[in-house]
Chains A and B, each alone.
Chain A
Amino acid sequence: MGKPSILSAFKAVKFLFQKPVTLRYPFEQKEPAPRYRGFHLNDWDKCTGCGNCADICPNEAITMVEAPEVEPKPGEKNERPQLDYGRCCFCGLCVDICPPGSLRLSRDYFHIHFDTNTFVFLPKDEAKDEETFLPPEEYSILQASLTHRRKDYEGFSSHPDFTLFEPERVPMPQVSPEERRLSFVEQVLGYSREEARREAARCLECKLCEDACPAHLKISDYIRAIYEDRPDEALRKIFEDNPIPAICGRICMRHCETACSLSIRGEPLAIRWLKRYTSDSIVDYREALELQPAPTTGKTVAVVGAGPSGLSVAHFLALKGHKAVVYDALPGGGGMMRIGPPAYRLPVESIDKDVAYTASLGVEFRFNTKVGTDVLFEDLLNDYDAVYLGIGTTSSRSTRVKNAEKCHLALDFLQRNKIGRPVEVGKHIIVIGGGNVAMDVAREALRLQHIQRPGQETKTMTVSLEDWDEMPATEDEIEEAKEEGVEFNPAWGPKEVVLDDSGEVKGLACKKVKSVFDEAGRFSPSFYEDQVMLLEGDMIIEAIGQGPDFSFIPDAMMENVEFTERRKVKVDEDGRTTLPKVFAGGDIVNVNLDAVTAIADAKVAAEGIDRLLSSES
C-alpha cells in the first residue's frame, strides 16, 4: 500500500495519446472461439432421432418433431430435434449426450427479431455458399441469423473422451479361444449381478432398439429393471413379448444392438447378454412371473414345430386359455434351436428351461412325433380348432457341384454333434458357406478335431462366395472363429469336389468369384473361370442354407398354399395362411430367418388365432 497521492493519478493522462483498445465492432470483428457454444447444428444424415438431446435438456428446450422427409428405419426415427431459443441455455449437454455426434453447436450466436416465433428453430446442416448465406435485409449489416447458418462454422462439438454416455460396454467374461476350442463348454460365462447392472446403466432409454426389434420387446423397461436390480420385474417385461428368454438371450440376432444408438460411436449396449442375465438369474420363472393363464376356453390348437415360433404361439395361446398341443419330430423342444446352435453357444439345458416353463402353463408337448408320418396333417385339421405351422427350414441345401453327394450337410452335422453321436471328423475340413451356420459348423468341426485328434496337425477352412465385407455371418462370429483358428477363403466359389483314386474326398476345387449379386441385387454369382485353386481336405461340409420341408402337407392342399415372391408362405395380418384355420410363422414366413422374428410372427398369429377362436364361440 503506497502513500496516497493526488498527483500520481495524473499519470493516466498518458492514455489520451495512446490508441484506444476498443474493438470497433461491427467494423472490426472478432471470431468467436473455436469451441464457442452458439446455436445448434444438426447433421440430419447422422442424426438418428433418438431424442436423447430432448431428454437431457434441463429446460425442455428441445422437442422432437416429425420430419416427414426422413424415412424411418431400424435405428433411425423420422424425428428431429427442434430448438426453442426462448428456453435454450447453450449448455451443450445435448451435444455431449448425442450418440451419433450429429448435434453440434456452431459459432453463430446472434438472432434478433421482434417476433418470438422465430426463436423456434429446426437445426439442419445445409451447405450454403456465401452468396445465399447473406441474410435478408432486415438483418442489416451483419451475416448470420437462425435461418442462415454456416455448416462449416462449427463450434462446440462432441468429443469421444467427454461424452455423457459410456461408449464401452462391460466386457463379457469369456472362455479364452485356446481353452474353448478344446471343448463344447458354453463360451460366454454371463454377467454377474454387478456387471449386469453396470452394463444396464449405460442404456440411454432412447428406444431405438424397441422399434428395431421385430418383436418390439420393451427393452428399455427391462434394462431399467435390471439396473434397479429387479430381475424378476425385468423378466416380466420380457415375457410380455418373448417367452423364450433363455434361448433368445443366447442366440438372438440382435437387431436391437445394431440399432442401438450407442453403437454409432461406441459399442452397443449388450442387450442380448442382459436378457440372458435376466433369465439365468431367475431360477424359477413361475415364481418370478406370477402369470396366470386365463380360464380355459375349451378350444384346442395344434402347433407343428416346437421351435421359437411354435413355443411362443403355444405360450401366448395358453395365456389366453386355449389348449395348445405342440408336435415335434425331435426328442425335445426348441426345434432348430435344439440342433442348430452348437452347445458352446446354446446349451440344451437353457432350451429346456424355457420349454419347461411353457409346459407348466398347460401346453402339451408331443415330441418324437413327426407330422406327416406319425400323425397326419389332415387329422390335425380335423381334431383341432386351429393349426399353427412353425416348421422352420429343416432341410439343408446342397451346392450340387460335381461329387457333392460326398459332402456332409450342415444340419445333420450339427444335430449329430449336439444331440446325437458326434461325427468323426477328418484332418482337413472344408466348410462351404459364409453364413452363421457355416461359422457354427466350422467352429464345431474345429473343436471336434481338437477332441478327436489331439496332438495331430489339423486344419479347418471355410470357403465362401462373399468377400470379407459382404460375408453374411456376424462380425463377432467371424472374429471368434478366427481367434479359434479357422481359416477363411473368401470370394471363392466351389467348382467341384475332387476325389482321389479310392473315391475318397481329396479336396475342393474353387474358382475366383467376380461378383455375388447381379446388378438388380439378386443372388447370381459370376466367376473368373480361369482363376482356380484346389483346397485340400478330407472332409467337406456344405453350409449354404436351408429350406422348408412341406412334404407333410398333402399335395391337394399344397396347391392352395400361396407363396410370396421370395418363396415364403403368404400370411395375412393375422398370421393366417390361405388354408382355412391354418396359421403360420417363423422362417417359412419371414425373410429374417431368426428366432426373434419368429417370436414376432407367433405373437401376431396367437392374436389371430385367438380372434378366430373367440369369434367362433
Chain B
Amino acid sequence: MVTRIIHIVLSPLIALVVAVFLLGLSRIVIARIHRRYGPPIYQPIIDIIRLMNQQSISHGTLFELGVVLALAGSIVTVLFIPLGGTNAPPGSYPLAHGLLCPLSSSGGLLVVIYLMLFGPVSIALGAGASENPNASIGVSRKMLLALAYEVPFLLVILAIMSHYGTISIAEIVSRQQDSAWGVFSVPLSAVAAFLILPAMLGIRPFDLVGAPQEIASGPLAEYGGRYLALLTIQNGIQVFVVIALFVNLFLGGGVNVITFLLKVFAVFLAAELVSAVLPRVRIENALRFCWTWPTGLALAQMIITVVSR
C-alpha cells in the first residue's frame, strides 16, 4: 500500500520533471537545426515561474475550470501508464524493480484513450469561454485534429489489443519484454503511430491548433499568467503521456525507469526532428493525411493481426 502511494505521488512527479525537461530539450534541438544555440535547458522553468507570478486575467469560471480539468486529466492519465519496470519475477532482469504504474490493474488502454481526449475537451471548454474568435477557430481545429488522429489511433490500439489479446498496458509491456517489441511484432501499427505522433503531440507539421502566425496561438489566445503556466505544464505532461504510451506499446517500455526515459527521449527527439524540417499543414490536409496513410497502415496491420490469429 505504501509503495502504491509512493507510486501515485512519484509517477506524476516524474512526468512533471520529464515534461519540463522535454520542453526545454525541444527548444534546444530545434534551435540547433536552426543553426543557433537556443535557450538553456531550464528555460521552461523560468518561464513557468514568471508566468505564475504574472497577473492573470480570467474570463469566468468556465475559463478557469478548463485549465484545471485539463491539467487534472493529464495527471490522472499518467497514473495509468507504466513508466518502466517490469512485472517479471525479480532476478530475470538486472536493476529491474516492480512496475511503476500506480493504476496498472484498472482500465488499461481504454481508460487512457478516454483520458487523452479529456485534455483537449477541457481546453476547448475553457477557450470557448474566452469568446476570442481565434480561440474558437483553434478549438474547432483542435477537435477536427483530434478526430483526424483518433481514427488511426483507435485502429492502432485495436490492432495491438487484438495482437496481445489484452487491454492492460502493463501486460502488453511485459509481453514485449518477454518476446519481441511492438515495432517488430506489429510494425505497420508502429509506423502508423509514429506518423500521427506529431499530431498527437501538437507539434509541426500538425501544430495548426495553436498556430501563432495564423490564429494567434488559438485556444491559448486569451490565457495568460498562471493559467498559461498550468497549460504549459499540461502540454508538457500530455507530450510525455503520448510518448510514454508509444514507448510502452512499441518499444517494450523499460525494464527500469532509466531505460524507459531514455527511450522516451529518443522518440521525442525523432518527433522533434520531424517537426523541425516540415512546415505546418492545413487542417484539411491533416485530415486527409491522417485518414489515408496512418489509417491505411493501421487497418492493414489490424487485418493481418486478426487474420493471423
Partners in one complex: yes
Q: Which residues of A contact B (CB under 8 A)?
A: 6, 9-10, 12-13, 15-16, 18, 20-22, 24
**In the bound complex, do residue B36 and residue A9 qualify as a contact, i.e. CB atoms below 8 Å apart?**
no
Closest to A17 in B: B32
**In the bound complex, do residue A13 and residue B33 qualify as a contact, i.e. CB atoms below 8 Å apart?**
yes
Chain B contact surface mostly: helix
25 contacts between A and B (CB under 8 A): A6-B278, A9-B277, A9-B278, A10-B277, A12-B277, A13-B33, A13-B273, A13-B276, A13-B277, A15-B32, A15-B34, A15-B35, A16-B29, A16-B32, A16-B33, A16-B273, A18-B35, A20-B31, A20-B32, A20-B37, A21-B35, A21-B36, A22-B35, A22-B36, A22-B37
Query: In the assembled complex, how far is the CB of residue B50 from the closest CB belonging to chain A, in whole angstroms?
Result: 20
Query: In whole angstroms, what is the CA distance A24 to B199 when docked?
Result: 34
Which of the residues B29, B36, B273, B276 comes within 8 Å of A20, measured between beta carbons? B36
Number of A-B contacts (CB under 8 A): 32
Q: Which residues of B contact A (CB under 8 A)?
A: 29, 31-37, 273, 276-278
Query: In the assembled complex, how far is the CB of residue B224 from the closest CB belonging to chain A, in whole angstroms?
Result: 25
Query: In whole angstroms, what is the CA distance A9 to B276 when docked?
Result: 9
Query: In whole angstroms, what is the CA distance A10 to B278 when docked?
Result: 9
Query: In whole angstroms, what is the CA distance A13 to B273 when docked?
Result: 7
Among A6, A13, A16, residue most surrounded by chain B Cβ atoms (within 10 Å): A16
Closest to A12 in B: B277
Closest to A9 in B: B277
Query: In whole angstroms, what is the CA distance A12 to B273 when docked?
Result: 9
Query: In whole angstroms, what is the CA distance A16 to B272 when docked?
Result: 11
Cβ contacts under 8 Å, B37 to chain A: 20, 22, 24
Cβ contacts under 8 Å, A13 to chain B: 33, 273, 276-277
Cβ contacts under 8 Å, B31 to chain A: 20
Query: In whole angstroms, what is the CA distance A152 to B273 when docked?
Result: 49
Query: In whole angstroms, what is the CA distance A90 to B73 when docked?
Result: 57
Cβ contacts under 8 Å, A9 to chain B: 277-278
Cβ contacts under 8 Å, B34 to chain A: 15
Closest to B273 in A: A13
Query: In the assembled complex, how far is the CB of residue B205 from the closest CB belonging to chain A, in whole angstroms?
Result: 10
Query: In whole angstroms, what is the CA distance A16 to B29 when docked?
Result: 7
Cβ contacts under 8 Å, A15 to chain B: 32-35
Closest to B276 in A: A12
Cβ contacts under 8 Å, B273 to chain A: 10, 13, 16
Query: In whole angstroms, what is the CA distance A6 to B289 when docked?
Result: 13
Query: What would 13 more interface pairs be, CB under 8 Å, given A9-B278, A16-B29, A21-B35?
Result: A10-B273, A10-B277, A13-B273, A13-B276, A13-B277, A15-B34, A16-B33, A20-B32, A20-B37, A21-B36, A22-B35, A22-B37, A24-B37
Query: In the assembled complex, how far is the CB of residue A548 from the closest CB belonging to chain B, in whole angstroms?
Result: 85
Query: In whole angstroms, what is the CA distance A10 to B270 when docked?
Result: 11
Cβ contacts under 8 Å, B33 to chain A: 12-13, 15-16
Cβ contacts under 8 Å, A20 to chain B: 31-32, 35-37
Cβ contacts under 8 Å, B278 to chain A: 6, 9
Query: In whole angstroms, what is the CA distance A22 to B276 when docked?
Result: 18
Query: In whole angstroms, what is the CA distance A18 to B36 when docked?
Result: 10
